């Protein structure tokens, strides 16, 4: 899944690189800027207060020579001059405004990207600092409000909303490309770069994941993943900051555009966790990932979430019981489409589940599956029956059939007797045959117990009917006696 974000620069860090040794001096609590859809303005670093975006009113923008047209000794100075041009803020909402200046800035950005990519020379610390400040000026901005925030209307389903595309994207893309090339470059010294790509810078990048423009989120995903791979000192901080975004999304807003992209990054991070797994990572699974099943918009990021959950179980099979119980805790009651998604995820988790963990949760699990089998929504019932197409799951069920069949036998009989959908009826018959072939004696015993249960229920219904009849007769007699007395 994650291969598509590894499209530029150095190779993917190995598992040993991704094992996250705890760096010292980095245990301070992470605080995320929670301004409404806000990315902080300005820049990161100690000197950020001295750097301000420039407007055409405060200076003039003139083209500068190309790098190939100046001596090598002058290229660092030319690099700074091009950065100066790129600090100008231009109005991209009007395509006819500042056309000349926009082209000068675009050309400067393209040449900066080519300069970094070509490895023409190691940049001085001053150039690196000024470049990060220029990048900050351009990308760290307040995001536009969502449509319902702008109009005051009722918030709609995020899946039905049209994303708001960033008008300045042709220039923003070049700025992001410049940052990406800087991060992945073999010439970039991590010890120097971490002074400018610091915690403040990372937090502001994370704020931008709420951008509605999917093109911007794709770049942010790639860049943050590369920062995580290259700057080991930032790893615990990045994980904590992502945790905080998830907590706010789950328990406060239930609205965030970048949950899927953040989960894609985490999918790669989880894949690199060293064994035995740290307690911190297990807590992240329980406190952040499993509760992400709760929001209504889970379908928008469920594929990435399911991948992360399955990665945990494949890494440590003992977590299967925790994951399955977590799924059952957040199982939807009225949303059939979510149930279909959960059943698909459940199959992936069960695929990686061993017998001992399966036995711990199978009673609760098959009580829920039994309810799904009898769902009037045919897709839910059909998806539940498809579990029996998986050989590993059938093997687990066969080993524990004496417990499982009595739980789900009634659901099979009800489907055969009264389910409206023919496909569900046919699948139920097939699964029922599997149990007969698996253990005919047990099946007959369940059949007898079911027949006895039906007989008892019928007797109880007759007894109840008789009691009501007697009560009605007694009430009628008392009414007649009262009329005679009067």
Question: Which band of pLDDT confidence, cut at 50, 70 and 90, is reported for residue 476?
Answer: confident
Closest of 235, 255, 246 to residue 296, by C-alpha? 255
Confidence of residue 25 (pLDDT cuts 50, 70, 90): very low
Lowest mean pLDDT segment, chosen from 67-76, 350-359, 441-450: 67-76
pLDDT mean over 96-115: 91
Query: For residues 247 and 476, which has the higher predicted lDDT (pLDDT)?
Result: 247
Distances (CA, A) of 24 to 21, 309, 375: 9, 29, 53
What single-letter DSSP state applies at residue 272?
T
The torsion angle over the Cα atoms of residues 7, 9, 10 and 11, rounded to 10 degrees, is: 10
Please report the pLDDT score of residue 150 as a whole number. 53
Q: Where are the domains of the chain?
A: 1-145+165-231, 450-486
Mean pLDDT lowest among 182-191, 442-451, 473-482: 473-482
pLDDT interval class at 145 (50, 70, 90): confident
Q: What confidence score (pLDDT) does residue 67 get? A: 87
Average pLDDT over the chain reads 86
Q: Is the pLDDT of residue 38 over 70?
A: no
Q: Give pLDDT, residue 56.
A: 61
CB atoms < 10 A from the CB of 386, how many? 15
Q: Residue 301 carries which DSSP code?
A: T
Provide the pLDDT for residue 97: 85
pLDDT at position 403 is 96
Q: Of 17-21, 103-107, 267-271, give the lowest mean pLDDT range.
A: 17-21
For residue 318, what are its two tokens? 């003992």
State the average pLDDT over residues 88-114.
89
Distance between CA atoms of residues 42 and 134, nearest Å: 9
Structure-block tokens of residue 404: 């499982």
> Could you give the dihedral angle defined by the CA atoms of residues 105, 108, 110 and 114, in that order, rounded to the nearest 10 degrees?
-170
345 pLDDT more than 60: yes
CA angle, 309 as apex, 303 and 312 as ends, to 5°?
Answer: 145
Question: Lowest-pLDDT range, 34-38, 213-217, 450-454?
Answer: 34-38
> What is the CATH architecture assignment of 1-145+165-231?
Alpha Horseshoe (1.25)
Q: Please compute the mean of the pLDDT values over residues 410-429 and round it to a whole number.
A: 95
Res. 475: pLDDT tops 50: yes
Determine the average pLDDT of the residues in 50-68.
68
Distance CA 188, CA 94 (A): 37
Tell me the CA distances in angstroms from 210 to 98, 101, 135, 143, 424, one per residue in order.
Answer: 29, 29, 18, 8, 41
Is the confidence at residue 18, as pLDDT, over 80?
no
Three-state SS for 142? strand
54: helix, coil or strand?
strand
Determine the average pLDDT of the residues in 3-27: 40
**Poorest-pLDDT segment among 19-33, 132-146, 222-236, 355-369:** 19-33
Residue 349 is predicted with a pLDDT of: 97
Alpha carbon separation from 62 to 56, 67, 86, 451 (Å, rounded): 11, 16, 11, 90
Please check whether residue 420 is in contact with residue 376, taking contact to mean a CB–CB distance below 8 angstroms: yes
Pick the range with the lowest mean pLDDT from 29-38, 164-173, 450-459: 29-38
pLDDT at residue 27 above 60?
no
Are the C-beta atoms of 328 and 346 separated by less than 8 Å? no
Question: What is the pLDDT confidence band of residue 22, given thresholds at 50, 70 and 90?
Answer: very low
H-state helical runs in 28-161 = 75-86, 99-118, 125-139, 147-151
């Amino acid at each position: 899944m994650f291969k598509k974000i590894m499209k530029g620069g150095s190779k993917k860090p190995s598992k040993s690189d991704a094992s996250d040794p705890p760096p010292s001096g980095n245990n301070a609590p992470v605080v995320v800027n929670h301004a409404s859809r806000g990315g902080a303005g300005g820049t990161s670093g100690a000197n950020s207060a001295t750097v301000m975006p420039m407007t055409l009113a405060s200076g003039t923008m003139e083209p500068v020579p190309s790098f190939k047209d100046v001596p090598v000794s002058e290229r660092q100075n030319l690099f700074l001059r091009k950065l100066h041009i790129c600090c100008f803020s231009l109005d991209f909402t009007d395509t006819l405004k500042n056309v000349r200046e926009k082209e000068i800035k675009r050309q400067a950005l393209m040449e900066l990207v080519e300069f970094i990519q070509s490895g023409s020379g190691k940049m001085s610390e001053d150039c690196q600092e000024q470049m990060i400040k220029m990048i900050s000026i351009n990308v760290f901005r307040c995001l536009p409000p969502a449509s319902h925030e702008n109009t005051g209307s009722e918030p709609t389903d995020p899946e039905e909303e049209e994303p708001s595309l960033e008008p300045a994207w042709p220039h923003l893309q070049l700025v992001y490309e410049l940052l990406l090339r800087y991060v992945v470059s073999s010439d970039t010294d991590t010890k120097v770069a971490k002074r400018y790509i610091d915690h403040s810078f990372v937090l502001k990048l994370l704020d931008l994941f709420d951008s509605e423009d999917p093109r911007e989120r794709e770049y942010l995903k790639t860049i943050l993943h590369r920062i995580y791979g290259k700057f080991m000192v930032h790893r615990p901080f990045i994980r904590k900051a992502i945790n905080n975004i998830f907590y706010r999304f789950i328990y406060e807003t239930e609205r965030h555009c970048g949950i899927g992209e953040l989960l894609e990054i985490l999918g790669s991070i989880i894949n690199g966790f060293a064994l035995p797994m740290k307690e911190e990572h297990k807590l992240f699974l329980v406190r952040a990932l499993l509760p992400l099943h709760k929001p209504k918009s889970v379908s928008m990021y469920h594929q990435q979430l399911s991948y992360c959950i399955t990665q945990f179980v494949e890494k440590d099979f003992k977590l299967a019981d925790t994951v399955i119980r977590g799924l059952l805790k957040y199982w939807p009651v009225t949303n059939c489409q979510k149930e279909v998604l959960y059943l698909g995820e459940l199959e992936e988790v069960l695929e990686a589940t061993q017998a001992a963990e399966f036995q711990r949760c199978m009673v609760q699990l098959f009580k829920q599956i039994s309810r799904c089998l009898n769902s009037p929504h045919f897709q839910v019932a059909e998806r539940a029956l498809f579990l029996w197409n998986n050989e590993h799951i059938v093997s687990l069920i066969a080993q524990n059939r004496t417990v499982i069949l009595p739980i789900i036998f009634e659901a099979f009989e009800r489907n055969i007797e009264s389910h409206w959908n023919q496909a569900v009826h046919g699948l139920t018959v097939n699964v029922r045959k599997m149990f007969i072939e698996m253990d005919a004696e047990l099946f007959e015993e369940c059949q007898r117990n079911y027949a006895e249960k039906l007989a008892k229920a019928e007797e109880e219904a007759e007894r109840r009917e008789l009691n009501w009849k007697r009560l009605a007769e007694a009430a009628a007699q008392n009414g007649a006696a009262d009329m005679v007395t009067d």
